[in-house]
Structure 1
């Protein structure tokens, strides 16, 4: 391990893990210095630390925290990150609002303290400019490499003291430059528009200045050669339960059970929650008892409808070390469970979501990456985590319950990884029987809420004010062409009423969450 201390945007000293001074040319930028050290020590972890927090850096825990080489950790205990709250106008992902109390996935890095492996720096050398501004460089590296498989986190355990050290903040010029270099061009226009509308600012010079900068995504960077072998032990016995909510999909569910019965790593329990709203009905799943299965089937029959309730009922019945949240219209190969457990061992991850295509749907992400949502029908989770999370009943019959469940996990310090292999095919079966259209409290309102109150609820619970406003701007333009009237002024006032109605009902739902 090599530790680089810096002050006033220059390296002040370099020491080894044994605290021995390493002779080094300190005249260059911090970024270029890290690249030189990576060349000299290609198998080392490279730690950086601002001198203001030198006595608080937790070097003893770096080895434990940095449990494989395809990671990047940093931490700044301040309220906001380098780009501040305005970056929310251009990105709606869960990586913007950082929970500083726990390990949290984010590309927003800090120059205050952090660590990366030399092998990563060698892969990006010459492909990402070694900027004079060290904070800009770190954020650029994380933003470019995160979709390529680099796992990036805010890690409070890098410091032994929680005192606030105010990090450097980007100017509006730097913000526009970063958006131009790391997002599609339309986001520059949206940033300008949002700042004009919501901040009453007119950063025309910063906006025009972007013509001097090019995208950093055009450079070819491949990180697959960086070996991943986590030192964390997340699998002990490897026992696994499967939960499946179902309603009116008798034949589809039978195929799921047959796929589970053929697994090379068999589940211990398969927990099925069958729903039927008709009071005098009984289960139609006679094959659960008429046929022999190589696992225990726990069957719950309920007249209460709703996937949130069904999943919560099933999760309470789990017993094994791991839980597979499945759907009743999935298909998968016989090695699914075995390969997933191998994947979580490799990355030391406690929650993973698999590739979940519909028929003939192409694969977009071919590397293991940090996922921005959560799949209620294709995810695996360590059972001990279920004591702290559940599906929020406020989302019942709406949209957003899976994404909300994922955010509950992240705010407990648990990241969600996407595994490109194995895949679970989602048949997207036609709606089964016994279904009736849910009746919402807002159905008879003269002004119908837009977006759906459950979608709005997710935004209120988990996004920043800037992210919510940015979403509102996009929604305004998105629905303009779908309206029956085209008068812009009339559309604006109607949209505002619908948005306010959505916020009203979302806050009503929030009271139930």
Structure 2
């Protein structure tokens, strides 16, 4: 008997990545899941292209799988954000559909960010589907056929497992690790992922209790959701996965890395360019997170380290090396707002 899993994927102007992710999901071995796609106010032709994919009019070429036309057309169920929250009930015949035969789309008028966009999907799933687990999955990923079975099998056996995550490889270099188990240094605000940028090794092949699970692939147990609630929408994007992992641990649950659950993520190893908005959010949320979860001694050391050393290193890199004054303004505003929010 497979526990029910609702998989939440966000799309924002990224239909090409999204349909490759969907196709890989519809080919997994797990037998009891549904997929909810939250479109975060896309301004391109994402919805049109995703509808074409569901009709079987848009095939996908991928190095990770062969396109399957046998399950097309998919039954497509579309709701506006408001409709998704005021339904009287979801039809039982929809809930009982074969996992690889249907897709639910929730259409938002604006970009709600990762945190609230995910919450929109979670609220719909919890109210109308009542799954045993929620899986948050980035749209720019491709999954192994057994990834969900490996995640759920462990979560079912380990009662204290509240959040469970996969081994994540770089999409472009499929045997190079992007994320595994993670550590948070509360004295300097830096985070560490074991094996990042390295070829897969034995050190990354054991199940590990981790400080946090990356939001790229984030399996949440229903009991935990009922106990601590949804993601914090104030984060908008970045660090919300660390925040939720910490809240889970404070509620008596643990976070785990499962190496046999494998996915591939389209993140460039060489890309160092952050948008101004990304720089702002990453800076603000990091300071906010540290203030929330570091103890008094840790936060004092972090605060001192940041303003005596790290602030000037980052500022110098942005202004002198990159000559990007707009990005520096975003960084500076992130620092100010992080302190205010904290």
The two structures have a TM-score, normalised by structure 1, of 0.43
Structure 1 residue 477 displacement after superposition = 2.9
Structure 1 residue 404 displacement after superposition = 0.8
Q: Which has the higher strand share?
A: 2
**Structure 1 residues 347 and 288, CA, compared in 2 at 3 Å: closer, same or farther?**
same
1:389 to 220, 226, 229: 229
Structure 1 residue 509 displacement after superposition = 3.4
> Is residue 118 of structure 2 the alignment partner of residue 311 of structure 1?
yes
> Is residue 131 of structure 2 the alignment partner of residue 366 of structure 1?
no
Q: Which has the higher helix share?
A: 2
* Bigger Rg, which one: 1
> Is residue 6 of structure 2 the alignment partner of residue 246 of structure 1?
no
Aligned residues: 249
Structure 1 residue 378 displacement after superposition = 0.9
Tell me: higher relative CO, structure 1 or 2? Use CA pairs within 8 A at least 6 residues apart.
2
Question: Can you give the 5+ residue segments of structure 1 that lack an aligned partner in the other structure?
Answer: 1-235, 431-435, 444-448, 486-497
Residue of structure 2 equivalent to 1:264: 29
| Contact persistence 2:248–2:254 (CA under 8 A) | yes
Structure 1 residue 328 displacement after superposition = 0.5
Structure 1 residue 310 displacement after superposition = 0.8
**Structure 1 residues 418 and 457, CA, compared in 2 at 3 Å: closer, same or farther?**
same
Q: Distance in 2 between matches of 1:508 and 1:371?
A: 30
What pairs with 1:472-487 in structure 2 (closer than 5 Å)? 472-475=303-306, 476-481=308-313, 484=316
RMSD, aligned α-carbons: 3.4
> Is residue 341 of structure 2 the alignment partner of residue 509 of structure 1?
yes
What pairs with 1:79-478 in structure 2 (closer than 5 Å)? 237-276=2-41, 278=43, 283-287=48-52, 289-291=54-56, 292=72, 293=74, 294-305=100-111, 306-318=113-125, 319=129, 320-348=131-159, 349-358=161-170, 359=173, 360-361=176-177, 362=198, 363=200, 365-387=204-226, 388-397=228-237, 399-428=238-267, 438=277, 452-475=283-306, 476-478=308-310
**Residue aligned with 1:452, SS:** helix
| Contact persistence 1:279–1:303 (CA under 8 A) | no
Q: Distance in 2 between matches of 1:267 and 1:429?
A: 33
Structure 1 residue 242 displacement after superposition = 0.6
Q: Distance in 2 between matches of 1:309 and 1:429?
A: 26
